[in-house]
Amino acid sequence: MSPAVFARSTWRQVAALLPGRADVAAMRRQPRRDLVAGLTVAVVALPLALGFGVSSGLGAAAGLVTAIVAGTLAALFGGSNLQVSGPTGAMTVVLVPIVGRYGPGGVLTVGVMAGLILLALALLRAGRYVRYVPAPVVEGFTVGIAAVIFLQQVPAALGVPAPDGENVSVVAWRALVEFAGRPHWSALAVALGVAAVMLAGARWRPTVPFSLIMVAVATVVAQLLSLDIARIGVLPATLPSPSLGFLDLTVVPTLLTSALAVAALAALESLLSATVADGMTVNQRHDPDRELFGQGVANLVTPLFGGVPATAAIARTAVNVRSGAQSRLAALTHAITLAVIMLAAAPLVAYIPVAALAGVLLATAVRMVEVGSLAALARATRSDALILALTAVATLALDLVAAVGIGLLVAAALAIRKIAGAARLEEVPLDIADHHLEEAALLREHIVAYRFDGPLFFAAAHRFLLELSEVADVRVIILRMSRVSTIDGSGALVLRDAIERLEHRDITVLVSGVRADQEKILDAVGVLDRLGAAGRVFPGTAEAIDAARAHLRRTGVLAAATPDVVDPAVQP
């Protein structure tokens, strides 16, 4: 391919991922509903953005910047009309260890690298593959994230400095030990009060933004009572100027693994969120590749302003849909509203207690767990329950990407086991009703027909080899292949080995019913060419039986004069 052709092809791929006229037209249809939805989401998103910024280790300002910049870019370039992007709890879980090892500059560098990886995935059309993630993996992943977010808030909720350590369980335990030595009841009361009202209010009035209300109440109470608890601190009133001053090219190779983890998480969470949004509507469908492109642009640019890596947020997207959003204008309104708050209310936001944000995130973690879905999956099959539990535990003990990988591997292994168990190699009776009774008895004595049912692939092939190798002493075996749903290289090789073993015992093997789409792989390993040259491959079982009878005649087992067809009225 010439450079010019390659350039044109690449541009066509990129152009297909860019915003188009349809996006603008959609924003003009019902702008009032989109504006109301965007304002509603902004009210919900403000405390979450501040809280996740603090939890990430880069501060509340970084969380707010991420919600504004990433929220705007993902809304413009993303593949869903309804997605709302920004900092999320799942991403925070991945970022905390990076901050501990490489500092804030490392997190910003990882964000840029993850953005480039997401753009590459979009150009490779990789978005469609997330649909193959099983539901137990997603649910286990969500439960694990909820547990990690909950444990991350323990130090702030107890009013103690976050102890050193990367494992959230260990850090939470150390915080409890420190709190027991020097209790700080004010911070705990604020955190538990905010969380309790949010959880109760969500059941009583789901549409009321109790998170923002309780953060405001906690701030006022803390100021009036002069509570000795940590505050967020001063926030910038405007977005910082874009800069690449954080970039250190010497550490880029060491950050590649972290960037892959961040990119994988951003892709997974964003595409799952888009799927959830589609399910909540009737006429909305997202473009998975364009969604990856939008998240790539957002993560590439946001670190230049000091923001953390972002993903689409399922909770905020759900609020957006329930508030009546119809187009990208709602997500844009959410980001613009947060920018106005940053400009006008930064001095007030500085007084918010850190414990109040911890309470918001504690309640958010609890609400992430859908007890009904978990119970249904746990009751469905033991395999689903095992996958869910392993993914959740791995999320808590290891990291999110490793947890998803473990969940997918276990799910694949169990699925392969089920498929292999469903495959059958069955001895079937010969259809020889038109033969003389004495000849029929001889045919049954010397010919055996086996029918394959299901996939002939690596997980089941060796069991079939053992079964065929144990066949009793017969003269001819007919292998009926018409019901083989699929065959892979391992299955073809095992079939070849089984035929060679049988022929080594002077058993003639005939094959019938091979489908056209399976001939290529059987030819590749030398199964059909040799048998075909010997005239042992047949379109159907009847022709194979006739060939087997002719073979027995040649070898003297059947009398040469035995008629092909006998009148049923004639007795032998």
pLDDT by residue (tens digit) across 531-560? 888 889 999 888 888 888 888 888 876 665
Per-residue pLDDT tens digits for 23-62: 888 888 888 888 988 888 887 788 888 888 888 888 888 9
Q: Are strands 447-456 and 476-480 parallel, antiparallel or unpaired?
A: parallel
Q: Do 437 and 467 contact (CB within 8 A), yes or no?
A: no
Alpha-carbon distance 135 to 141, whole Å? Answer: 10
The boundaries of every CATH 3.30.750.24 domain in the chain are 424-555
pLDDT the model gives residue 69: 95
DSSP for residue 251: G
Using an 8 Å Cβ cutoff, are 109 and 254 in contact? no
Give residue 472's Cα distance to chain centre. Answer: 48
| Range ranked top by mean pLDDT from 13-27, 362-376, 445-459, 500-514 | 500-514
3-class secondary structure for 40-59? Answer: HHHHHHHHHHHHHHHHHCCC
Give one DSSP letter per residue of 331-357, joined into a string.
HHHHHHHHHHHHHHHHHHHTT-BHHHH
Q: Which of the pair, 525 or 2, is modelled with greater confidence?
A: 525
Which pLDDT does position 571 carry in this prediction? 33
| Alpha-carbon gap, residue 284 to 193, rounded angstroms | 38
Cα(387)–Cα(382) distance, rounded to whole angstroms? 9
Residue 111: per-residue pLDDT: 94
Q: Which residue has the tokens 């991420």?
A: 66
The pLDDT tens digits for 54-93 are 888 888 889 999 999 999 999 999 988 989 999 987 788 7
Taking a C-beta distance cutoff of 8 angstroms, is the pair 307, 104 a contact? no
pLDDT digits (tens, 9 = 90+) for 366-405: 877 777 777 777 776 778 888 888 888 887 777 666 777 7
Residues 6 or more apart whose Cβ sits within 8 Å of residue 62:
53, 56, 87, 306, 307, 308
Cα 379 to Cα 373, 383, 386, 520: the distances in Å are 10, 10, 11, 43
Given a cut of 70, whether residue 499 has pLDDT beyond it is yes
Percent of the chain with pLDDT over 90: 17
Q: Among residues of the chain, what percentage have pLDDT more than 70?
A: 87
pLDDT computed for residue 570 by the predictor: 32
Beta-sheet pairing, 85-86 with 311-312: antiparallel
| Cβ neighbours around 550 below 10 Å, total | 12
For residue 86, the model assigns a pLDDT of 92
Q: What confidence category does residue 567 fall into, taking pLDDT thresholds of 50, 70 and 90? A: very low
pTM of the model: 0.69
Query: 10 Å Cβ neighbour count for 379?
Result: 10
List, in order, residues 6 or more apart from 290 with CB less than 8 Å away. 16, 17, 77, 78, 79, 122, 127
Backbone φ and ψ of 84, nearest 5°: -125, 120
Cα gap 346→238, rounded to integer Å:
9
Give residue for tokens 């029929």: 440
pLDDT tens readout for residues 434-458: 445 544 555 666 788 888 887 877 6
**CATH number, span 424-555:** 3.30.750.24
